[in-house]
Structure 1
């Protein structure tokens, strides 16, 4: 009797396993809610860094769950939209994607849309989305939360603390400006006479910048040095009305920017 019970139990377990392996069509499955949490900026394509940027528009994807599931975004030049289907756990298939018809330099747009047509599975780790064909990764994308996305655009400096010289005296002609590159996770911009870039990390409203790399034009006055030195000390940020950005050291406002 005990042996018979064991065999029956074994058969039931096999049937349960077969049932659980059947793919589920449609909406969020297998943790796919993570797909909808971020805007995904393209960083690598077919194993190579993706650097094409056109018309101030970074290549990205935005997933929306529904019936049907929709994907929108940009190739870096043209807007794109289409449908995708999730099957089982971490399987994904894009329908042919439609794009606007603006002429684009090179063939990177075609490479991007062709890569997406090859994709059949996905994975997410450390806010990075991998789109793959089998075990071959065809595209890597960095995830940016909708709150961090509000930092997009160009920001002009209008206040910096800790200096005896008036702001207009420190920057009599040009004012420094910054812009976030979500694809490379870099802050770029201009110090008033040199272009610069700096890697950043963001966690909540905490932000940190690495040492900046810049061009080597000689700058008169101390405006550039003051700007870069203060940027390195910043550890928090605050947005007001999506049009005013404040950098802080702890709770003290030290730099303020307005959105163009």
Structure 2
């Protein structure tokens, strides 16, 4: 009887592990987090030098992206496939002028991405193997 209970416990733990692994799929990690930019084109973002804030990105399950570009609010569409391929398109933004913004560099970088690496504490958007935008969960 103890052997049957032990086998049942092992099987139950294995199934629980499988279920929790599904909860951390790339799409789930991507859409369950509000992201804040930590580096752009290999350079660390200096929040103190951005009077209007650090760029942000929110990805939803309907394949829409939105956020702030360090000046203007923006929105668009994205696609993410199972192999990590990603693109962002149809970006539209408000048109305020902001001194000290990195908005132009941010939008140029986001247009170039074709790969995403989604982790629990880090989102890396790349052009090939070159890191363009690295995000961390927004605090």
Q: Residues of 1 paired with 2:51 and 2:113: CA distance? A: 24
Q: Paired residues, what number?
A: 113
Shift of 1:127: 0.5
Alignment of 1:83-122 (within 5 A): 83-106=77-100, 108-122=102-116
In structure 2, the residue matched to 1:58 is 54
Q: Equivalences for 1:193-212 in 2 at 5 Å?
A: none
List runs of 5+ in structure 1 lacking aligned partners.
1-29, 145-181, 183-260
1:102 match: secondary structure: coil
Contact 1:96-1:117 within 8 A present in 2 as well: no
* Partners of 2:26 and 2:119 within 8 A in 1: no
Larger RCO, structures 1/2 (Cα 8 Å, 6+ apart): 2
Q: Once the 2 structures are TM-superposed, how far is the Cα of residue 126 of structure 1 from its aligned partner?
A: 4.7
Larger radius of gyration: 1
- Structure 2 distance, partners of 1:117, 1:32, is 20
Q: Secondary structure at the match of 2:90?
A: coil
Summarize the Cα distance change of 1:107–1:60 in structure 2 as closer, same or farther, 3 Å threshold. Answer: closer
SS in 2 for 1:34: helix
TM-score (normalised: structure 1): 0.41
Aligned equivalents of 1:33, 1:71: Cα separation in 2:
14
Asked if 1:32 is matched to 2:27, the reply is yes
Which of residues 27, 38, 43 is equivalent to 1:48?
43
Q: Is the 8 A contact 2:51 2:100 kept in 1?
A: no
Are positions 1:77 and 2:89 aligned together?
Answer: no
Q: 1:141 aligns with which of 128, 135, 138?
A: 135
Runs of 4+ in 1 over 3 A off after TM superposition: none
Q: Calculate the TM-score normalised by the size of structure 2.
A: 0.74
Higher relative strand content: 1
Query: How many Å apart are 1:107 and its aligned residue?
Result: 5.8
Contact 2:55 2:70 in 1 (8 A): yes
Per-residue CA deviation, residues 94-142 of structure 1 (Å, 9 max, x unaligned), is: 0031111110224621000110000011112351110001111111111
Aligned position for 1:222: none
Distance 1:82 1:40 in 2: 15
Q: Secondary structure of the equivalent of 1:95?
A: strand
Please state which structure has a larger fraction of its residues in helix: 2
